[in-house]
């Protein structure tokens, strides 16, 4: 019986690892981007059990395969551990150019509105991005919404509604439909109290799941990467990307957009699923251009959603930050090709599904 368990665990870890190497939009392939930590743990369990239990070629095969799995998955996860070097420096340069931002997928069916209200009241962020908000959420959050002078809302019943709030000066802000008519995004030009301008991007593309491949998700992420590359302003990108930090798409997003990830060298900052601490993935993101330094970033407590909220305080200090921060990794020809193909294929998928928005991306 134990031998069967060992072979089953080893097969799962090896199969998931091999599938994660494939380039595909298929949901049953791309889903293996997510559980890298889980696959590594499964491989370690199989390895520990195989050494005293198996013998001969069976032991050699399982041990070798599991060592490869652990090595590869560890390599992919390593940057998001305290063992790696940080990309974004932790520093307060000029308090007047610092701002706090909060992002939370509330879970549309979560009707415990007061816990979210209390959390926002406690954190009191300068920028709020709430995802999966429908009309009931919008009505329940009215006391919070009314406190912010700048607000945009797209309440939807399809799990992709959003609310954007800020007390900071806004030059322009819009809800845009990058690929289809069912998943809105936020693009805004905002200023700090001292007048430093930056672009803010809020995303919530669809996840890989049965009946939903990743063409449209990857296209939205690619468009946001291209936007950051083309603008001259500092850029802050947040949201539930329904993608993990170490995926091929997220890494392309970083390189094309010239983004840095404050989680690198600090930890996973895993947010989903909220009720399974040992199995969480980092789905809710904060990326920034090299013009920012980090004051703090934290994952907050569970307030009834399947996601955990993310809160961060950052400072715009282009000259100092570019000295203190690491240089963003430069894109190569493969990244540029990946970006172009992702946008093309996402638009094509939306047209085929009859949900194409026909909108152009906001001007940088």
CATH number assigned to the domain comprising residue 119: 3.60.10.10
Q: What's the pLDDT band for 210 if we cut at 50, 70, 90?
A: confident
Q: What angle do CA 156, 354, 163 make, to 5 degrees?
A: 20
Of 80, 111, 131, the one marking the end of a domain is 80
pLDDT tens sequence across 97-110: 999 999 999 999 99
CB 246 within 8 A of CB 287: no
**Quick one: pLDDT at residue 75?**
95
Q: Let me know whether 45 and 189 are in one domain.
A: no
Range of the domain at 33: 2-80
pLDDT tens sequence across 7-28: 999 999 999 999 999 988 888 8
**Quick one: pLDDT at residue 277?**
85
Q: Let me know whether 27 and 123 are in one domain.
A: no
Tell whether omega for the bond before 10 is within 30 degrees of 0, i.e. cis.
no
Residue 336 to residues 88, 225, 356, Cα–Cα distance (Å): 24, 10, 23
Q: Let me know whether 65 and 114 are in one domain.
A: no
> Beta strand 284-288 with 292-299: parallel, antiparallel or unpaired?
unpaired
Of 80, 104, 122, the one marking the end of a domain is 80
Residue 224 lies in a domain: yes
Mean pLDDT over 164-178 rounds to 96
Among the residue ranges 15-24, 65-74, 152-161, 349-358, the one predicted with the least confidence is 349-358
Q: Let me know whether 27 and 118 are in one domain.
A: no
Residue 85 lies in a domain: no
Q: Let me know whether 8 and 102 are in one domain.
A: no
Looking at the predicted structure, is the pLDDT value of residue 363 above 90? no
Residue 360 lies in a domain: no
Q: Let me know whether 242 and 325 are in one domain.
A: yes
Mean pLDDT over 227-251 rounds to 93
Q: Let me know whether 38 and 125 are in one domain.
A: no
Residue 86 lies in a domain: no
Q: Let me know whether 10 and 108 are in one domain.
A: no
Number of domains in the chain: 2
Q: What angle do CA 221, 153, 342 make, to 5 degrees?
A: 15
**Quick one: pLDDT at residue 326?**
93
Of 57, 80, 103, the one marking the end of a domain is 80
Q: Let me know whether 330 and 304 are in one domain.
A: yes
138-144-149-154 Cα dihedral, nearest 10 degrees: -20
Q: Let me know whether 112 and 256 are in one domain.
A: yes
**Quick one: pLDDT at residue 267?**
95
Residue 120 lies in a domain: yes
The residue among 111, 33, 102 whose CA lies nearest residue 72 is 33
Nearest-angstrom CA–CA distance, 112 and 153? 20
Enumerate long-range contacts of 171-175, CB under 8 Å, 24 or more apart. 171/197, 174/362
Nearest-angstrom CA–CA distance, 126 and 91? 19
Q: Let me know whether 343 and 263 are in one domain.
A: yes
pTM of the model: 0.93
Q: Let me know whether 211 and 279 are in one domain.
A: yes
Nearest-angstrom CA–CA distance, 2 and 48? 12
């Amino acid at each position: 019986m134990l031998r069967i368990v060992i072979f089953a665990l080893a097969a799962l870890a090896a199969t998931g690892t091999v599938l994660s190497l494939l380039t595909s939009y298929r949901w049953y392939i791309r889903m293996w981007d997510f559980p890298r930590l889980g696959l590594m743990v499964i491989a370690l369990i199989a390895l520990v059990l195989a050494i005293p239990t198996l013998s001969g070629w069976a032991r050699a095969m399982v041990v070798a395969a599991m060592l490869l799995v652990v090595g590869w998955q560890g390599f992919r996860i390593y940057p998001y551990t305290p063992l790696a070097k940080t990309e974004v420096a932790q520093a307060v340069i000029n308090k007047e150019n610092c701002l706090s931002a909060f992002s939370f997928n509330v879970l549309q069916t979560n009707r415990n509105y007061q816990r979210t209200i209390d959390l926002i009241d406690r954190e009191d962020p300068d920028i709020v991005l709430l995802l999966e908000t429908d009309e009931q959420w919008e009505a329940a959050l009215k006391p919070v919404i009314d406190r912010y002078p700048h607000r945009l809302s797209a309440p939807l019943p399809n799990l992709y509604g959003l609310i954007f709030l800020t007390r900071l000066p806004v030059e322009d802000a819009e809800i845009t439909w990058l690929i289809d008519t069912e998943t809105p995004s936020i693009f805004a030009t905002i200023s700090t109290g001292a007048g430093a301008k930056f672009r803010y991007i809020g995303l919530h593309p669809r996840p890989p799941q049965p009946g939903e491949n990743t063409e449209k998700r990857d296209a939205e992420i690619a468009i946001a990467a291209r936007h950051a590359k083309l603008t001259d302003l500092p850029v802050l990108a947040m949201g539930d990307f329904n993608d993990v930090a170490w995926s091929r798409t997220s890494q392309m997003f970083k390189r094309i957009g010239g983004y840095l990830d404050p989680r690198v060298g600090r930890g996973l900052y895993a947010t989903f699923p909220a009720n399974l601490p040992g199995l969480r993935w980092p789905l809710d993101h904060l990326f920034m251009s090299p013009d920012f330094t980090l004051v703090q970033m934290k994952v907050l407590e569970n307030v009834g959603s399947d996601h955990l909220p993310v809160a961060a305080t950052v400072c715009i200090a282009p000259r100092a930050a570019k000295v203190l921060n690491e240089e963003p990794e430069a894109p190569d020809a493969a990244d540029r090709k990946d970006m172009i193909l992702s946008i093309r294929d996402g638009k094509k998928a939306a047209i085929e599904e009859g949900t194409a928005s026909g909108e152009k991306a906001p001007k940088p």
